[in-house]
């Protein structure tokens, strides 16, 4: 096989950093180029263990900049793209929707424009868009999201991701551009920025701060350990068919309040606190505007076609996530401290 130069955007973020680690280790003969702007959510500390590998390069760049993307394509002769870079938090999209429109829609189209210019027909190229199950909207008490479910995004975040998926399919249809898409459920695991539910709760439990549960806590998400997600991505990248979409999920529907209670119990055990101590921190707060009620994925296509199934149960995934945060309190402190953010800005100009 010819050597591949794989551009992974957003590789300093949560899921992207796990993907970089998997690809760098699994494909020593390929070159993995991490293209990341290092926003508040991107952190090169996530990649310390792969930093020195000879088949890995980091480029600080903005997916919205034609010149910066163009330079990366020319410098590294990019043959494949796996596109993670995004604004990823629903609550932020409610306060600043334009940032989501710019990064998630304009950024994706800009990347494809540059790739289209560089890539030859039949050149074994692939543009793989990493997307979310939130594009399908919100479910009632029953039903699952299938690949054929109509898009019905309800938040500015999911609207921007849905739009990027539409552009990706439009490029395939109009220009014969080689694409793949996957839509995954909620991820959790090491390196997740403590604005998302689980790391935020872990951070607050450690610091004995209130645990804000939105509304009555009965909203349901389908949880998947991040390592399972990046293994599914690697499988789709290697074996999935061009032009196809694959849903990825863990068959782990859990109400927010039940998940937070389980986390409290596990954290009490780990921290040697009295059972029930952390649960006392749970505080029901005003609901998120337009809060989607339930997400649930039917992952039978990827299971039947590509043989992927998740390896981690929620219990195993939660325990290993908690262990990671407890062993990496400095990471949590760094990403939440303003001082560190300033230092980081000086170091990396981000
Ligand atoms: P994240 O917020 O942790 O990381 C995003 C990364 O993108 C950061 O490293 C950031 O620096 C980078 N970035 C942001 N704007 C950029 C720009 N203009 N140019 C270059 N880099 C930029 O996100 P995540 O949770 O790892 O999500 C990664 C992808 O997976 C996103 O596309 C998201 O929509 C999708 N996804 C996430 C989940 C989830 O549960 N987190 C589930 C399904 C799909
Ligand atoms: P989140 O991690 O933001 O992911 P998403 O909104 O993309 O699913 O939130 C997961 C669920 O947890 C969602 O139903 C909102 C809820 N939530 C809280 O109850 N409290 C919080 O502090 C946060 C961040 C989320």
Q: Give the Å distance between the CA of 350 and the centre of ligand 2.
A: 27
pLDDT tens digit sequence for 85-128: 999 999 999 999 999 999 999 999 999 999 999 999 888 999 99
User: Pairing relation of β-strands 253-255 and 220-225?
Assistant: antiparallel
Alpha helix (H) ranges present in the chain?
Answer: 14-26, 66-76, 90-95, 97-100, 107-118, 156-175, 197-206, 226-239, 256-271, 300-306, 314-327, 329-336, 338-348
Can you tell me whether residue 253 is helix, strand or coil? strand
- Which secondary-structure segment (H or E) carries 247? strand 245-248
Q: Give the Å distance between the CA of 14 and the centre of ligand 1.
A: 7
Alpha helix (H) ranges present in 307-337?
Answer: 314-327, 329-336
322, pLDDT greater than 90: yes
**Residue in 165, 169, 105 with CA at minimum distance from that of residue 133:** 165
- The predicted pLDDT at position 341 comes to 76
Packed helices 156-175 and 107-118: angle between N→C axes, nearest 10 degrees? 20
pLDDT tens digit sequence for 118-156: 999 888 999 999 999 999 999 999 999 999 999 999 999
Q: Mutate which of 135, 193, 197 to test ligand 2's pocket (most atoms within 8 Å of Cβ)?
A: 197
Q: Give the Å distance between the CA of 16 and the centre of ligand 1.
A: 7
Q: Mutate which of 145, 157, 256 to test ligand 2's pocket (most atoms within 8 Å of Cβ)?
A: 256
Q: Mutate which of 189, 214, 289 to test ligand 2's pocket (most atoms within 8 Å of Cβ)?
A: 214
- The predicted pLDDT at position 107 comes to 98
Which residue's CA is minimally distant from atom 14 of ligand 2? 219
Which ligand is located closest to the Cα atom of residue 154?
A: 2
Q: Which two tokens stand for residue 94?
A: 């409610």
Q: Is 186 in the pocket of ligand 2 (CB under 6 A)?
A: yes
What is the Cβ-side half-sphere exposure of residue 100, based on CA atoms within 13 angstroms? 19
pTM of the model: 0.97
- The predicted pLDDT at position 350 comes to 57
- The predicted pLDDT at position 26 comes to 98
Q: Is 247 in the pocket of ligand 2 (CB under 6 A)?
A: no
The closest-lying atom of ligand 2 relative to the alpha carbon of residue 134 is 7
pLDDT tens digit sequence for 276-304: 999 999 999 999 999 999 999 999 999 99
Phi-psi region of 193 (alpha: psi -120 to 50; beta: other; left: phi over 0): beta
List of residues 6+ apart from 124 with CB closer than 8 A: 2, 79
- The predicted pLDDT at position 230 comes to 98
Decide: residue 276, CB within 10 A, 0-12 exposed, 13-18 middle, 19+ buried: exposed
Residues recognised as catalytic: 133-134, 157
195, pLDDT greater than 60: yes
User: Pairing relation of β-strands 126-132 and 179-184?
Assistant: parallel
Can you tell me whether residue 83 is helix, strand or coil? strand
Q: Give the Å distance between the CA of 21 and the centre of ligand 1.
A: 16
pLDDT band at 183 (very low <50, low <70, confident <90, very high): very high
CB 115 within 8 A of CB 73: yes
Which residue's CA is minimally distant from atom 5 of ligand 2? 90
CB 193 within 8 A of CB 257: no
Q: Is 64 in the pocket of ligand 1 (CB under 6 A)?
A: yes
What is the Cβ-side half-sphere exposure of residue 51, based on CA atoms within 13 angstroms? 8
Which ligand is located closest to the Cα atom of residue 295?
A: 2
The closest-lying atom of ligand 1 relative to the alpha carbon of residue 133 is 43
């Amino acid at each position: 096989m010819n050597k591949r130069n794989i551009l992974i955007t957003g590789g300093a973020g949560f899921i992207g950093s796990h993907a970089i680690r998997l690809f760098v280790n699994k494909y020593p003969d390929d070159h993995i180029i991490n293209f990341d702007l290092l926003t508040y959510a991107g952190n090169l500390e996530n990649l310390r263990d792969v930093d020195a590998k000879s088949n890995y390069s980091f480029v600080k760049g903005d997916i919205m900049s034609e010149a910066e993307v163009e330079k990366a394509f020319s410098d590294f002769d990019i043959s494949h793209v796996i596109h993670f870079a995004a604004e990823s938090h629903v609550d932020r999209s409610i306060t600043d929707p334009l940032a989501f429109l710019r990064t998630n829609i304009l950024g994706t189209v800009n990347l494809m424009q540059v790739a289209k210019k560089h890539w030859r027909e039949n050149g074994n190229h692939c543009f793989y868009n990493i997307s979310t199950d939130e594009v399908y909207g919100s479910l009632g008490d029953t039903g699952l999201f299938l690949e054929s479910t109509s898009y019905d995004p309800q938040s500015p975040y999911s609207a921007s991701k849905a739009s990027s998926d539409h552009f990706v399919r439009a490029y395939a249809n109009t220009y014969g551009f080689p694409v793949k898409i996957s839509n995954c459920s909620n991820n959790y695991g090491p390196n997740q920025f403590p604005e998302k539910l689980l790391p935020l709760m872990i951070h607050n439990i450690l610091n004995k701060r209130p645990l804000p549960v939105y509304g009555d806590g009965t909203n349901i998400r389908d949880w998947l350990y991040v390592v399972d997600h990046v293994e599914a991505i690697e499988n789709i990248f290697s074996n999935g068919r061009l032009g196809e979409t694959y849903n990825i999920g863990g068959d782990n529907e859990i109400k927010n309040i039940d998940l937070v209670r389980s986390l409290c119990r596990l954290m009490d055990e780990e921290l040697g606190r009295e059972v029930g101590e952390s649960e006392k921190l749970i505080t029901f707060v005003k609901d998120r505007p337009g809060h989607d009620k339930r997400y649930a994925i039917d992952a039978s296509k990827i299971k039947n076609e590509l043989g992927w199934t998740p390896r981690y149960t929620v219990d195993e995934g939660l325990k290993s996530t908690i262990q990671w945060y407890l062993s990496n309190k400095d990471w949590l402190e760094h990403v939440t401290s303003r001082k560190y953010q300033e230092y980081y800005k000086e170091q990396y100009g981000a």
